[in-house]
Amino acid sequence: MNITLNLEELTAMLLFGIGFTMLVFSRNLLKKVLGLNIIDTGVYLFLASMGYIEGNLTPIVPPTGPVDPGIYINPIPTGLVLTGIVVSVSFSALMLALAVRLYKKYRTLNLDEIYARCDREDGED
């Protein structure tokens, strides 16, 4: 329960909270995508800080001789961050493409106006 011990994790949580609020409450589609990217950043920071071990080296081992695992950091979260980055890039691109299509149809990125125009179209049919 020591705050100074967990500063990295706390920052990651703050980033996650801010991004999540942006994703849920923002009415602008582009800002929703940005919020999702902030969430991703928080998750990367969390994973990377969980994998770090005090004073240890990058997990690039010498080519010969015995390997002592105790002097290297944990490589598993690094691989997980890689997966996260790929998913985040794909997701952002897909969301932005959908936003472009919505903008072309309704000429706005505001969700309220898009809903209003959808309702009007439904009423006309």
CA 123 → CA 104, 107, 117, 120, distances in Å?
Answer: 21, 19, 10, 5
| Binding status of residue 123 toward another protein by CB under 8 A | no
> Which residue from 17, 30, 118, 119 is in contact with another protein, where contact means CB under 8 A?
17
Question: Considering only CA atoms, which of 57, 20, 60 is closest in space to residue 40?
Answer: 20
48 contacts 118 by C-beta, under 8 angstroms = no
- Residue 118 near another protein by CB under 8 A: no
> Which residues bind to another protein, rule: CB under 8 A?
1-3, 5-10, 12-14, 16-18, 20-21, 24-25, 49-55, 58-64, 67-70, 72, 74-79, 82-83, 85-87, 89-91, 93-94, 96-98, 100-101, 103-104, 113
